[in-house]
Amino acid sequence: MKHIHGNRAQVSVEYMMTIALSLLAFGAIIYVANTLMGQSSLQIKIDSTQRAVNTIKEAADYAYIQGHPTKYTTHIYIPSGIVSGSIIPGKLGNRTINLKVGVGSSFTDVYAVTDWDIRWEGGAGLLNCSGTGSSRCEEGYYTVVIMTNETYPINIYRSMD
């Protein structure tokens, strides 16, 4: 009888070991999947921001090539996590469109350089977000208007439509 009782104990231990190893493998799979999903969502955010900046750049270049008077309207999507937006002056003039994206506890700049000087006609930074308080860029779709005039080659502003 003792021999049969010993087999039951061995089967119980083997069963518990199988369950423990299964849970360990399942936990490792969940961890890897969660890490990959986090990296994917971050990459999608940065790609969406790059698409928005490139759309504004291409529209500004198009408007300049068309000459005065030109009014060009485009639509962009701004993902969550945009901290600020600006037109950065450089050696050749105001040609860099920049959106600062929050990435974890740090930031990354997503930018495009136009062929011509541009000016934001919107007050508190590009797309009306300066990165402070309630003026952070809200996620969503924006209508951006690019106009040329006689005093400044390219003027960009956010339409409130």
pLDDT tens track for 50-67: 999 999 999 989 988 888
Q: What is the pLDDT of residue 154?
A: 85
Residue 161 in contact with residue 126, Cβ under 8 Å? Answer: no
User: What percent of the chain has pLDDT above 70?
Assistant: 86
Of the ranges 8-17, 57-66, 121-130, 150-159, the best mean pLDDT one:
57-66
In terms of pTM, does the model score above 0.75?
no
User: What percent of the chain has pLDDT above 90?
Assistant: 24
Give SS3 for 151: coil
Q: What is the pLDDT of residue 51?
A: 95
Higher pLDDT, residue 20 or 37:
20
- Return d(Cα 47, Cα 156) in angstroms, integer: 22
Return the HEC string of 35-92. HHHHHHHHHHHHHHHHHHHHHHHHHHHHHHHHCCCCEEEEEEEECCCEEEEEEEEECC
Q: Quick check: 159 pLDDT over 50?
A: yes
Q: Quick check: 133 pLDDT over 50?
A: no
Q: Quick check: 34 pLDDT over 70?
A: yes
Q: What is the pLDDT of residue 91?
A: 72
What confidence tier does 19 reach under pLDDT thresholds 50, 70, 90?
very high
Least confident span in 101-110, 122-131, 141-150: 122-131
Give SS3 for 149: coil
